[in-house]
Chain A
Amino acid sequence: MIELTDVHKSFGSNHVLRGVNLSVPQGESMVVIGGSGTGKSILIKSILGLVTPETGTITVDGKDVNKGDRDAFLARFGMLFQGAALFDSLPVWQNVAFRLLRGSLKKPKDEARDIAIEKLRRVGLSADVADRLPAELSGGMQKRVGLARAIAAEPEIIFFDEPTTGLDPIMSGVINDLIREIVTEMGATAITITHDMTSVRAIADKIAMLHAGKIRWTGPVADMDASTDPYVDQFIHGRAEGPIEAVR
C-alpha cells in the first residue's frame, strides 16, 4: 500500500503540490491524470525520494520512504521514464540488466544477459537489438527497452511516467497493452501518470485527478465517465471550455 498524506512541494514561489492525499492499495493499477505542469511527475518522484516534500508523509507498506535502507527500498521499484532515460553509453541489454549487473541484485553476466533478452522478448523486441546502442532505436523501441528495464528485476511497484507521449497511436496501443499485461501478470502495484485518455482506459483500475496541487477526484475507471465533477468532465472530454483554464 502506498499512502501519501498532506504532501506539499514547492519550487520557489511555484507551489506544485498543495496537500496531496492518495492511497494506492497493493496490486492496484492507479492512473493519475491532470494537465501539463500540475505536478504529476513530482508526485511519483516524491514517492521514490528523488524529490523531498516540504511537509506531509509518504509511506510504502507503512514505512516512511525517506527513512531506512534506500537500496532495499528502491529495489522494490521499477520505473519507466517519459523519455525512456536509457543510458546512451551502454548497449540495450546492459540497460535492461543494469540492476542485475551491480548492487544487491547482482547476477553473473551471462545470466543477466539472458534475463535481459527474455525481458526484451516480453516487450516484443527480438534478441538482435540487445547489442545495439539506444541511439540506434526508434522512440517506440526505446520506450519498450525502458519498459523491459523497469520490469527486469521483477519489482513489486512500477511507475510509468507518460508512457505513450510522443508515440504514434498504434505504438501507444502496444505500450498500453504491454503495461496492462505486465502489471496483471506480475501482480505489481502500478502508478501511471498520463493525460492520454486512451492509456487511462487501457491501464487503470482506479483514477486520481490532480489539479491545483491536490487530488481533485478519485474513483474506479468505470465511474470516470459518470463523474459529476466538472473538472474531470472537462479533462476527459478534452474541452477548452470549463473550470480548468486553457491558458496556464
Chain B
Amino acid sequence: MSTLLASIGAAVLGFLAAIGRLALFTGQTISHLVRPPFYGREFGNALLQIGYFSLPVVGLTAFFTGGALALQIYSGGARFSAEAVVPQIVAIGMVRELGPVLVGLMIAARVTSSIAAEIATMKVTEQIDALVTLSTHPMKYLTLPRVLAATLVMPLLVGVGDIIGIYGGYIVGTERLGFNASAYLQNTADFLEPLDIISSLVKGAVFGFIAALMGCYYGMNSDRGAMGVGRATKSSVVAAAILILAANFLLTEAFFSA
C-alpha cells in the first residue's frame, strides 16, 4: 500500500514539477519580448517557415474537411428534413471549430515537430552551447522568434483555412448536392457573426503560441543522442495537440458559453 502511495506521490510531484518548468520557460520566453536585442532575421525566417510554407497543408486539410462536412450535414440533416442548413452549418463549423482546431493540429504536426527536432539536434551537437559562447541567448535567438512568429501568423493561416474550408463545402454543395451557388454564398455570409470570426482568429493565435512553445520547450530540454531527439519530437507533438484541444475547449467556453 505504501509503495502504491509513494508511486502516486512521485507521479504527482513529477507532473507538478513539469508544469512548473513549463511555466518558467513560458515566462522566460515572454520576458525576452521586452528585452533587446531582437533577431529580426530569425523572426522573418520563422514567419516564412511557419506561415508561408504551411499554406499548402492548411489549404488541403481545410478544403477536404469543408467538403466532407457538407456531405455529413446534408446526409445527417436529411433525417429530419434539414438539408437546407448545409451552408450555415459548414460556415459555423469551419469558422468556430474545425478551422482553428484542424489548422492548429496540422501546425502541431508540421511545425512543432520540426522546431523540436531542429532545436534538440542543435542541443545534442552543442550548437546551443556554441550560441552561448558567442554571446547569443538561445531563448532570444531560437525560442522568441519562433513563438512570436507562430502567434502572429496563425490567425492568418486559420483565416485562410476557414475560407478554403467554406469553399470546399461550397464546391460540394453546389456541384454534388445541387445547391444554388449565389444562395449558398448568401446564406453563409448572412449566418456568420463577427464573434465567430474573432473567436476563430483568437484561437489561431493561442494555438500558434502553444505549438511553437512546445516545440521549443521539448527541443531545449532534449536528452542526448538520436533517441533523445526522437523522444523530444514525439513528446512535443503530443503535448501540443493535447494543449491545443484543451485550450480550444476553454476558449469555446469563454466565447460561447452564454
Contact = CB atoms under 8 A, between A and B. Distances in A.
A228 interface: no
Interface in A46-76: 48-50, 70-71, 74-75
A103 B37 contact: yes
Interface stretch (A13-21, A81-89, A169-177, A219-227): A81-89
A79 interface: yes
A74 B126 contact: no
Given A81-B126, A87-B127, A103-B37, A75 B132 contact: no
Contact of A77 (B121, B122, B126, B133): B133
B12 interface: no
B219 to A, nearest CB: 14
How many residues of B sit at the interface, in one of the four size bands?
Answer: 10 to 19
Nearest to B127: A85
B14 to A, nearest CB: 15
Contact of A102 (B39, B122, B125, B133): B39
A157 B185 CA distance: 69
A136 to B, nearest CB: 16
B256 to A, nearest CB: 42
Contacts, number: 50
A104 interface: yes
A74 B133 contact: yes
Name A's interface SS.
mixed
Residue among B121, B122, B126, B135 having the largest count of chain A Cβ atoms under 10 Å: B135
A182 to B, nearest CB: 17
A157 B135 CA distance: 14
Contacts of A78: 133
B130 A81 contact: yes
A87 B133 contact: no
Contacts of A103: 37, 135-136
B169 to A, nearest CB: 40
B133 A48 contact: yes
Q: Nearest 4 pairs between A and B by C-beta?
A: A85-B130, A85-B126, A74-B135, A79-B133
5 contacts: A83-B125, A87-B122, A87-B130, A88-B127, A98-B136
